[in-house]
Structure 1
Amino acid sequence: MDKVLDSPARAVEDIPDGATLAVGGFGLCGIPSTLIGALVGAGTSGLRVVSNNCGVDDWGLGLLLRAGRIARMTSSYVGENKEFARQYLSGELEVELTPQGTLAERLRAGGAGIPAFFTPAGVGTQVEEGGLPWRYAADGSVALASPPKEVREFGGRRYLLEEAITADYALVRAEVADRHGNCVFNAAARNFNPLCATAGRTTVVEADRIVEPGQLPPDAIHLPGVYVDRVVAADPADRRIERRTVRALPTNSTTPQGS
């Protein structure tokens, strides 16, 4: 029952080239950066990654991307990662862009054993019609495009069929985990992390703090340990603030300094 390993390298050492990964996080929040760093060190390549975005140029999944280790991304947006955009537009990377809510539900369905579902998101767009560029050719033409989706009508409204997502491995970051793998996520870090965890056949969690079984109140647990296979300690120094915004004190402020 003790799922704690002594190093991130051990936790990812069996992930093979070409594996499918579901990676938690949103922007810079809740990113399993310690496990991603271990994968970079392992030299694993040809990865097919499902994640809301692909990190930034010098952190998170952006490190794997910059090293040329990712073959395919399934994401909801490119974000501010210039290398992500460059590789996609130059034909070096296959990208399936998916509406954000649809991506979340595809992961949830995969974890729940539901093979597919109908959604109104994307009706009447290229998501329905197909033709969205998944991979560009070197000359800028579309080498691989999305296929059209099955459409059905329910209650007089049209819906698209979306397939669930499962992954060989899931990489997740929690605020607290116990040795049995029960996890608690901090605020907005409880975004895609639980969804990815349930969709992974083997789920690896890095936690800011690891506690003994019984220390987490049952009602406080966001992810039961039954979904978790391995737990490692996260690097507490490897955290980012996406945009630091501060307000300067007015020049006529009478507030004593340091109060």
Structure 2
Amino acid sequence: MNVGLGLPVTDPESLLDWARRADAGPFTTLGLLDRLVFDNPEPLVALAVLAGATSRVRVQTEVLLAPLRETALLAKQAATLDRLTGGRLVLGLGVGGREDDHFAAGTDIRTRGRRLDAQMAVLRRVWAGEPYGEGAGPIGPAPARPGGPEILFGGFKPAALRRVGRWGDGFLCAAAPSWAGPLFETVRTAWQEHGRDGAPRMVAQINAALGPQDVIDEARRAMAVYYRFTEAADHMVAGMRTTPAEIREAIARFEDLGADEVMLYCHGRDPDQVGRFADIL
């Protein structure tokens, strides 16, 4: 089972320390969330810096809110980062459910799913080296990975899960193990219905914090702030794993479901957690 780290966003200057420690440890991927109207670093910019400070780990958006972005520029940015990292970019994509993000970006939250589907057609065409469209030629550079960086889609609704079969390489699951199973099966069914070879890559996410009580308390506060736009913030915070036994148990349950990788998502800023997580793997 591969294990990655979802990085905290409240202290951008500390992320280089997190990244270097993770690169020297057993972790496979560094993930970074995306919001517009929030106090977080822009993920593609931040991951470019972290990729330059590491040599091995993948860098992953969890998830990049593609409908907030202009498509041609996103295609160029992602291809550039993929090329400069030697194919280490994993582009987790989603539609975004916060009205303030879409308001600030000037996009219509009501059409975000349709916009993402239209964007994917353009992204795949650009990354294949084809012309952008009538009146515009190809947009380089070519990505390191033929056809573009690996694409994971996050989400819970049927349309989001079916999008994996049509456009993606895998699924980024933010659900708890207790109700992730049906999501995995829906994704696998969509994959088969679209006649895809092989199997979708399944990446799960576990909210976790390890350390003294002040580290755990800080992680819970940060997580509550992030999810306060929902009606489930208390439930999300209560589900955070804070002991080695809880984290191992959650990883094992996802492994039983067929997950290929688990991301331990950290809301607490203490970079010593990297070593604590490494010790329990």
Is the pair's TM-score, using the shorter chain for normalization, greater than 0.5? no
More helix by share: 2
More strand by share: 1
TM-score (norm 1): 0.40
Structure 1 or 2, whichever has the larger Rg, is 1
